[in-house]
A = this chain, B = another copy of it.
Amino acid sequence: MTAEPTFSHLDATGTARMVDVADKAVTARQAVAQGRVVTTESVLAALRDNSLPKGDALATARLAGIMGAKRTPDLIPLCHPIALHKVAVDLVVSDDGVTITATTKTADRTGVEMEALTAVSVAGLTLIDMVKSADPAAELTDVRVLSKTGGKTGHWERS
């Protein structure tokens, strides 16, 4: 590990800027991100059941994640506003917690991994908000990109 890492959002003097993507090609791009909400067994049991009277808990988190993806350029200072062609947020309740997976797609000059990460995070925070009266210690963890495709760097997959 010899070379100094490059932070593309900073110019040579360390100044933040929104990177110029004008000359980048418009290509189909997709990203998948994942995270997990860790909470108590009894909360997981109530969520897994996903019936009334807990019906709206997962639906609320899923919608918040989808809407959160659209707010990405409002939240992340140097993100370009881009078209979003698809956002799907999937929540699976297991013994380990609630695993949240978000898939985002676009055809634009820049990738959609921040949109996928934001969808996961907002869905996770919303789930914490739903369960915090039962478990104030609930946490959001392991939020990360699983894979991305498209653009100059092509396909990347978490090893």
- Closest chain B CB from A144 CB (angstroms): 4
Q: Which residue of B lies closest to A35 (CB)?
A: B140
Q: Which residue of B lies closest to A85 (CB)?
A: B22
Interface status of A67 (Cβ within 8 A of chain B): yes
Residues of B within 8 A of A132 (CB): 113-114
Question: Is the Cβ of B15 less than 8 Å from the Cβ of A55?
Answer: yes
Question: Is the Cβ of A117 less than 8 Å from the Cβ of B107?
Answer: no
- Alpha-carbon distance A34/B13, docked complex (angstroms): 21
- Alpha-carbon distance A88/B63, docked complex (angstroms): 17
Q: Which residue of B lies closest to A117 (CB)?
A: B125
Contact with B along A47-85 (1 / 0, CB 8 A): 000011111110110111011111101111111111111
